[in-house]
Each structure stands twice: as structure tokens, then as C-alpha cells.
């Protein structure tokens, strides 16, 4: 068929890009070649509208062993000859169309990124965003996504140890499904995603290639519309049991020493893995597409190249030793075929039925090579003027604070997410050290060293919408704070940057500001960015989602006896607030959901205050001077106190220590850099001595009680009643229709 500009545009390439392709090839591409450029130059694969800004993020320092972008995931040193490999990615668009498979294959894909480097995944987390929970569509999406995550993760045998879920109307059409995987590897035993050595065989391993997922990378690089359901074949189908076999076989074949390079066939499938491996090794490949295992007849060359069928790996092995590799895969009953060999001409040559279907320079296809890089127009959004004009005096302080508190803790973004997390297997693998008591971050045991890892995902997107720069800083700071409050030392960051259409100047402004804010915070906390994912075009007819730069962070707990939990331990323990309480309700759940004020600034945050706070918390934990630590986030001080009390069903008696700030700000404000700690009465003097030397503000709140919740000398009832409201709020929102849709019911 004749290839024209219209053909290119139908494949989501611009006229400018079509002309650039012709220039790079020195001719007009055929249809198969154009399809490969469409996939590889999509936003999802090339980061063409983001890479210039991503390069400004700190990518070295600390315990980094592999810099961002060098491999499929970041690698950091945790001592004793081991490294931690971790990454977070999005599967937003597929999950919006087919929530079960979209979420399931997101989990499978991120785990493959970990074990393709030779690491064994030991934990997973997720960050989810949905619309109004009372909406039936939201309930359908929530049920499908959670079922997909639990199905794949539980069957694959890696525990889901943490995560976050928010509900806001802006995610009605386009939910966000971000999955994170954490793995362990011996230093020096990693495998690179590279192709080197002329004549070395190229080995295809895993599931057969089908038509599911064709064009998935391009599909993820466009807005969701009413017609998006017509593109259902772009959603992949996963098989966790096949992936489990693939994991074990890949780790075993690495031990044979025959592997030169390995990469999973994720977004853009075979064309992506062949192109990226070849470009990295400054090599080329000869590929016979007839030898690719296929589960559907009469597939065309471009369909084979672009299919995103799951559970597939591409390996380059040493020439003459391919039988050793194939023996391992045969043992695990995995289909495997030598489909080509490495060349030294830098070209990807694809043949089918003895005919040349495509010949493309690998370098020209890939990020960091010939893929285009853009810097789009940006414009400060007009709504920020209204945001900055917010005056707290315009909000009347409620007379019945208890009634407000009851409403607040039942908001879906604050209430207990047990309906979700009870569907996840959090204990398989016996590495989860947080099962008996809650902590601000999940603690997982590294069996090989006896150390622990503290892992978390964090982002309050309402803060980022209110102030993209400060909001992104807060996301990094909260992740670090959660790790510190759990007894860990922050190591590094992986990020999943979820934004709207980059061609919208206001969206691009949000993106650039958020990246800069993230970079400043990462430098301050010495948490370099190891890698991640950019997901643009997250919007529907009603507009873009809130800018959501999700932060995945890993920290090290050198001595697991020093891990800290968030629960109050005993009646009579004294409760202290570390940090200042500002007269601030900005961007809080209280202000936005209870008071109905949608536009206000981000909450109070000063990075130097935050850094000093975290250093102080670390000292208190190492000195054994506190019984619990829980940071203040969504819902403010009152929610933090309740969450600290729920686990042992203890109460608390607290009183505001000043009359300067409003009581609603004191109880429900979300000003940052604050932590609630409990202290044994016998250690209070030592605690105060350390705090005074640190110079970090702190105040006495009150004491832990047997059962009652007392605020400013007013008895608000027994903790059991509050726990009931908090625990059952989400379940009460959900309808019985979920069961008819195949959702898992709560245990």
C-alpha cells in the first residue's frame, strides 16, 4: 500500500515526524516500517515531550549503582553485596477500558522490568485514583482494577505490601493505575538490556504472540474518548502462572552464564526490545518473523512486531551455547525459539516468508537516539490566581467539630481501604514485616542480609493541582517522611508522572513545574531518581486529571529492631506533636470535601523545616525514645490520632496548647512537616532534652487513654465507635451490584 502523510497521521504521527522519518531513512517508509516508528516514537516509548525535563532530575549520588535510564529499573546498594531494584509504571488507559486485564498486566509488566535485570521481585505496591465512589462507573472500575491487581499478584506469588487510593471527580473517565515492584539482586549479577557480539543468537521465550495489545503504546499516548472502547484489542491479556515460570527460568538461565543481554517485550513488543537492545549495544539484528511463536494464524509482519502479548522475553545468548539456554526453558515448559542473530550493521532487518518486510536503523527508533525531543509551549493556568486568592476568613468555623470529624473520616480518600487490601495477599513469601502492626511505610525483610526495606508510594494530587512546584516537593517529602517515621533511611525515588495532554500549555506548565519541584526535593533528601514512567493524555471530555506525580520511594532499615510503628502502645503514654501547627486548612480534605471550596493554595510546607523534622525523628527512633510515630497527612491531626489509636483500640485525651489558630485548622488542617509521637512517661524528660537540643518545635498534646476520645475536655465517645465508622465507610458506598460484576467480596 502507498504510504502518505494521512497514513502517518492515522498512526498518530505528525506530518513533521513523517518527513523526519523519510529524511532518516533516505526514502519513504513502507507501512510496516511506519508502524514501528509510530510505536517507538509514541509518547509512551520515546518520552518525546518530557525527556528534556526528565534529564534535569538528580540521577546520581547516594547509593546509586545504575543511573536512571541505563536499564529497565534503578539499582541501589543496600550493603552486604546486595542491591535493591525498583520501578513504578502506569497502566492507566488500558485500565480505563478493561479494568481487570489493564491492571493485571500492569502488575505483570512492572515485575518483568525487575526480573529482566536478574533481580527477584519480593514486593509490590500500587497507587490508584478513581472518580466519585458513589458513581456506578467508578465502582465498576474500582472492582475490576482491584480484582486484576489481586489476581495477578496473588497468583504470581509476590506480596502486595502497600499503596494508596484517592477518589476525586477529575478521575471519572481516566482512572490512574500505577504499579510498583521491588526486587533484590546480588551486586554484579545483573543482566543488561543489550545486544552485542556479531552472530550471537536472538532467543524468543515465553507466551506465543497474538493480536492482543497491538498498538498499546500508541493507544496510551492519546486521550480517552467515547470511541476508545473500539480499541479494546489494545488491552493486553495476562497469565500470572506463565509469568511465574518465566521468572524462575530467567533467573536460572542467568546462572548458566550464557546470557549476553535480556529485555522483556513490554510496550511496543518485539520492535521495542529489538530496537532498544540493538541501539544500546551499537549493533543490529536479523530477525525471521516466521520463527516467532504465534497463537493466531495469518498475522501480518506489523502485527507481530507491535503486539504487546504478555509474558515474553527476548534474550541474546552466546553463540554455540543456545542449547544450554533452551534446555532451561524447556525444563520450565516455556516456548522458546531462536528467531535471529545479532549483526554489526546497526540495522533491524525483519524478514517474513523469505521477503524483507522492514529495515530500520535501531538508533533512529529509540529514546536517546533518533527519536524526536520536544519542548512544548507552556502557560501558567488562570485558575492559580483564584487559588492564591483564597482567604481562610471566608470559611466559617463550624460549631459542631465532632460532626465534621465524623464526616471527614468517612470520606473515601481517608477511610479504611480494607475492602481493597484484604483482597491482596500481603504475606506470601514471608517478607512482610508490617503484618502485625501498621507503619507509615511497609517494611519488608531482605532475607539474604537480615536488613529491612521501607517502601512507600505517595502523592496528594490536590496539592500538586494547587501548586505544581510545591505539591511535587510535598509528594517527595511525604514519601521520605513515611520512611523515616518507619525507622528507615530514604535511598532513592522512582516516579510515575501522570498528566493531561502535553500539547495543552497549561498542562505542560503543571508538568514542568512539578518536575522542577520534585528535583529540588530529591536533591535535599539525597534520594536520586532511579527511573520511572511518564503518562500523558490522562483526560477525558471533562478535562485533564489533577497533575499526579506519584513518588515511589525505597529506604533502608539497617536494624529491624529499630523499625517504628504508628500505633499507640499503652494507656498513660504521653502524646506530642513535632512540628508547628499553622493556621491553615488549604487544599485539605476538610476544605474541599466538607466545606466545598475547590480552589485554595497547597498547605504550608517549608523544605528546611521538613528536613530538620526528619533528622529529628530519625534520632528519636535510634535512641529508643518514642513508642510510635505517625505523620500528619490527609484529614489532619484528628485523623492521625485516630489511626494511631485504632490498632490497639486505645483512646486519647488531647487539648490545643494555644488559642491562636482556629480549631478546625488545628484538628483538620493538613499543614506539612508534622509528626505525632507517643512517649513512655519514664522517657519524657529524655525526649524533651533531645527535642530542645534539636531546635525543632514540639508541643504536648495529651495522653493515651483506655478507650475514650476526648478533645479539648469534650468526650467524643469511645474509640470503637470511631473505628466502626472509619472501617466500614467505603463498603457502605459500594453496592451489591459489584458481586454480579465478578468483583471479589470482602473477606
Give the span between the Cα atoms of 449 and 538, in whole angstroms: 41
At residue 229, the pLDDT reads: 47
Which of 32, 35, 51 is closest to 43 using CA atoms? 51
At residue 70, the pLDDT reads: 73
pLDDT by residue (tens digit) across 132-163? Answer: 999 999 999 999 999 999 999 999 999 999 99
- 221 pLDDT exceeds 50? no
44 counts as catalytic: yes
| SS3 call for 633 | coil
111 counts as catalytic: no
The CATH architecture of the domain made up of 1-40+193-373 is Alpha-Beta Complex (3.90)
Question: For 413-437, what is the mean pLDDT?
Answer: 90
According to DSSP, the residues that pair with 125 across neighbouring strands are 162, 180
Question: For 55-78, what is the mean pLDDT?
Answer: 84
Give the span between the Cα atoms of 109 and 235, in whole angstroms: 13
| SS3 call for 571 | coil
Give the span between the Cα atoms of 621 and 443, in whole angstroms: 15
Write down the catalytic residue from 44, 604, 630, 733. 44
C-alpha 468, offset from chain centre: 18
Give the span between the Cα atoms of 495 and 90, in whole angstroms: 10
Contact predicate 89/127, CB 8 Å: no
At residue 217, the pLDDT reads: 47
- 68 pLDDT exceeds 90? no
How many angstroms separate the Cα of 284 from the Cα of each of 2, 29, 448, 518, 585? 27, 18, 38, 37, 58
Contact predicate 166/251, CB 8 Å: no
Give the span between the Cα atoms of 280 and 369, in whole angstroms: 9
At residue 435, the pLDDT reads: 79
Strands 259-264, 160-167: pairing is unpaired
Lowest mean pLDDT among 212-226, 397-411, 529-543: 212-226
How confident is residue 226, by pLDDT bands cut at 50, 70 and 90?
low
CATH 3.90.650.10 fits 566-734, yes or no: yes
- 27 pLDDT exceeds 60? yes
Give the helix/strand (H/E) hosting 251: helix 240-255
At residue 220, the pLDDT reads: 45
Looking at residue 745, the DSSP 8-state letter turns out to be P
Domains of the chain, by residue range, sit at 1-40+193-373, 566-734
How many angstroms separate the Cα of 33 from the Cα of each of 7, 41, 269, 638? 12, 12, 14, 59
Q: The C-alpha cell of 653 is what?
A: 485525651
Which of 216, 263, 264, 208 is closest to 236 using CA atoms? 216
Contact predicate 202/113, CB 8 Å: no
Cell 531546635 -> residue: 695
pLDDT by residue (tens digit) across 616-630? Answer: 999 999 999 999 999
Give the helix/strand (H/E) hosting 124: strand 120-130
pLDDT by residue (tens digit) across 93-135? Answer: 999 999 999 999 999 999 999 999 999 999 999 999 999 999 9
pLDDT by residue (tens digit) across 459-478? Answer: 999 999 999 999 999 999 99
Cell 489511626 -> residue: 643
Which of 492, 412, 549, 426 is closest to 163 using CA atoms? 426
How many angstroms separate the Cα of 206 from the Cα of each of 275, 277, 293? 19, 18, 9
Q: What is the 3-state secondary structure (H, E, C) of 311-365?
A: CEEEEEECCCCHHHHHHHHHHCCCCEEEEEEEECCCEEEEEECCEEEEEEEHHHH
How confident is residue 247, by pLDDT bands cut at 50, 70 and 90?
very high
Give the span between the Cα atoms of 429 and 153, in whole angstroms: 12
- Angle separating helix axes 240-255 and 322-331, nearest 10 degrees: 140
According to DSSP, the residues that pair with 286 across neighbouring strands are 341, 349
Write down the catalytic residue from 91, 147, 630, 733. 91
Contact predicate 73/86, CB 8 Å: yes
pLDDT by residue (tens digit) across 576-609? Answer: 999 999 999 999 999 999 999 999 999 999 999 9
- Angle separating helix axes 607-622 and 505-524, nearest 10 degrees: 40
pLDDT by residue (tens digit) across 504-556? Answer: 999 999 999 999 999 999 999 999 999 999 999 999 888 999 999 999 999 99
Give the helix/strand (H/E) hosting 698: strand 698-705
Tell me what percent of the residues of the chain surpass a pLDDT of 70. Answer: 95
Give the helix/strand (H/E) hosting 646: helix 636-646
- Looking at every residue in the chain, the average pLDDT score rounds to 93
Cell 529508643 -> residue: 624
- 218 pLDDT exceeds 60? no
Question: For 634-655, what is the mean pLDDT?
Answer: 98
Question: For 701-722, what is the mean pLDDT?
Answer: 97
How confident is residue 238, by pLDDT bands cut at 50, 70 and 90?
confident
Lowest mean pLDDT among 6-10, 70-74, 446-450, 739-743: 739-743
Give the span between the Cα atoms of 583 and 155, in whole angstroms: 48
Q: The C-alpha cell of 526 is what?
A: 539525597
Give the span between the Cα atoms of 317 and 328, in whole angstroms: 13
At residue 266, the pLDDT reads: 79
Nearest 5°: the CA angle 597, 598, 603 is: 90
- 20 pLDDT exceeds 50? yes
How confident is residue 234, by pLDDT bands cut at 50, 70 and 90?
low
Give the span between the Cα atoms of 449 and 583, in whole angstroms: 46
Amino acid at each position: 500500500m502507498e504510504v502518505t502523510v494521512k497514513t502517518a497521521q492515522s498512526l498518530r504521527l505528525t506530518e513533521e515526524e513523517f518527513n523526519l522519518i523519510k529524511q532518516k531513512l533516505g526514502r519513504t517508509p513502507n507501512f510496516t516500517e511506519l508502524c514501528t516508528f509510530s510505536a517507538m516514537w509514541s509518547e509512551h516509548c520515546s518520552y518525546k515531550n518530557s525527556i528534556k525535563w526528565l534529564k534535569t532530575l538528580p540521577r546520581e549520588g547516594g547509593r546509586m549503582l545504575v543511573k536512571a535510564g541505563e536499564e529497565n529499573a534503578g539499582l541501589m546498594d543496600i550493603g552486604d553485596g546486595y542491591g535493591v531494584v525498583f520501578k513504578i509504571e502506569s497502566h492507566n488507559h488500558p485500565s480505563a477500558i478493561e479494568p481487570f486485564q489493564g491492571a493485571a498486566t500492569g502488575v505483570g509488566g512492572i515485575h518483568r522490568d525487575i526480573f529482566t535485570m536478574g533481580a527477584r521481585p519480593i514486593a509490590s505496591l500500587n497507587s490508584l485514583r478513581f472518580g466519585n465512589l458513589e458513581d456506578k462507573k467508578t465502582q465498576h472500575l474500582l472492582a475490576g482494577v482491584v480484582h486484576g491487581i489481586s489476581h495477578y499478584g496473588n497468583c504470581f506469588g509476590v506480596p502486595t505490601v502497600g499503596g494508596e487510593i484517592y477518589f476525586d471527580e477529575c478521575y471519572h473517565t481516566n482512572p490512574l493505575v500505577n504499579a510498583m515492584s521491588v526486587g533484590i539482586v546480588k551486586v554484579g549479577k545483573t543482566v543488561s538490556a543489550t545486544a552485542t557480539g556479531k552472530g550471537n543468537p536472538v532467543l524468543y521465550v515465553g507466551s506465543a504472540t497474538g493480536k492482543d495489545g497491538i498498538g498499546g503504546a500508541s493507544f496510551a499516548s492519546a486521550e480517552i474518548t467515547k470511541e476508545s472502547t473500539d480499541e479494546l484489542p489494545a488491552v493486553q491479556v495476562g497469565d500470572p502462572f506463565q509469568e511465574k515460570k518465566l521468572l524462575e527460568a530467567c533467573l536460572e538461565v542467568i546462572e548458566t552464564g550464557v546470557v549476553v543481554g535480556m529485555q522483556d517485550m513490554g510496550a511496543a513488543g518485539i520492535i521495542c526490545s529489538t530496537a532498544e537492545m540493538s541501539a544500546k549495544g551499537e549493533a543490529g539484528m536479523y530477525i525471521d518473523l516466521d520463527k516467532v511463536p504465534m497463537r493466531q494464524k495469518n498475522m501480518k509482519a506489523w502485527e507481530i512486531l507491535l503486539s504487546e502479548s504478555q509474558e515474553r522475553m527476548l534474550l541474546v545468548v552466546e553463540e554455540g551455547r543456545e542449547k544450554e539456554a533452551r534446555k532451561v526453558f524447556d525444563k520450565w515448559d516455556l516456548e522458546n525459539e531462536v528467531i535471529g542473530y545479532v549483526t554489526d550493521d546497526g540495522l533491524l532487518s525483519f524478514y517474513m516468508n523469505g521477503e524483507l518486510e522492514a529495515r530500520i536503523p535501531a538508533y533512529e527508533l529509540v529514546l536517546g537516539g533518533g527519536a524526536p525531543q520536544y519542548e512544548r509551549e507552556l502557560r501558567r493556568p488562570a485558575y492559580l490566581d483564584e487559588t492564591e486568592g483564597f482567604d481562610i476568613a471566608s470559611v466559617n468555623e463550624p460549631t459542631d467539630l465532632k460532626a465534621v470529624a465524623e464526616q471527614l473520616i468517612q470520606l473515601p480518600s481517608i477511610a479504611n481501604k480494607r475492602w481493597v487490601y484484604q483482597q491482596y495477599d500481603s504475606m506470601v513469601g514471608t517478607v512482610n514485616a508490617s503484618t502485625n502492626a501498621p507503619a507509615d511505610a511497609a517494611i519488608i525483610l531482605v532475607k539474604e542480609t537480615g536488613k529491612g526495606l521501607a517502601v512507600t508510594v505517595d502523592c496528594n494530587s490536590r496539592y500538586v493541582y494547587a501548586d505544581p512546584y510545591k505539591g511535587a516537593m510535598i509528594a517527595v517529602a511525604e514519601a521520605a517522611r513515611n520512611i523515616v517515621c518507619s525507622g528507615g533511611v530514604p535511598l532513592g525515588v522512582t516516579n510515575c508522572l501522570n498528566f493531561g495532554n502535553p500539547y495543552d500549555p497549561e498542562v505542560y506548565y503543571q508538568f514542568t513545574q512539578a518536575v522542577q519541584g520534585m528535583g529540588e526535593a530529591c536533591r535535599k533528601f539525597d534520594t536520586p531518581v532511579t527511573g520511572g514512567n511518564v503518562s500523558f493524555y490522562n483526560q477525558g471530555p471533562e478535562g485533564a486529571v489533577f497533575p499526579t506525580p506519584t513518588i515511589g520511594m525505597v529506604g533502608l532499615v539497617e536494624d529491624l529492631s529499630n523499625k517504628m510503628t504508628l500505633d499507640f502502645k499503652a494507656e498513660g503514654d504521653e502524646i506530642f506533636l513535632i512540628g508547628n501547627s499553622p493556621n491553615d486548612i488549604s487544599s485539605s480534605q476538610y476544605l474541599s470535601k466538607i466545606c466545598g471550596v475547590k480552589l485554595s493554595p497547597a498547605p504550608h510546607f517549608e523544605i528546611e523545616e521538613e528536613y530538620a523534622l526528619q533528622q529529628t525523628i530519625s534520632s528519636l527512633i535510634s535512641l529508643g525514645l518514642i513508642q510510635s510515630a505517625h505523620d500528619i497527612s490527609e484529614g489532619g491531626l484528628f485523623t492521625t490520632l485516630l489511626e494511631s489509636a485504632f490498632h490497639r483500640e486505645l483512646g486519647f485525651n488531647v487539648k490545643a496548647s494555644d488559642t491562636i489558630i482556629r480549631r478546625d485548622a488545628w484538628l483538620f488542617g493538613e499543614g506539612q512537616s508534622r509528626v505525632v509521637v507517643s512517649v513512655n512517661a519514664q522517657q519524657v524528660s529524655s525526649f524533651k532534652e533531645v527535642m530542645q537540643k534539636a531546635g525543632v518545635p514540639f508541643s504536648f498534646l495529651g495522653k493515651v487513654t483506655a478507650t475514650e476520645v476526648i478533645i479539648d475536655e469534650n468526650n467524643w465517645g469511645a474509640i470503637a465507635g470511631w473505628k466502626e465508622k472509619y472501617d466500614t465507610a467505603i463498603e457502605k458506598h459500594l453496592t451489591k451490584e459489584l458481586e454480579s460484576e465478578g468483583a471479589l467480596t470482602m473477606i
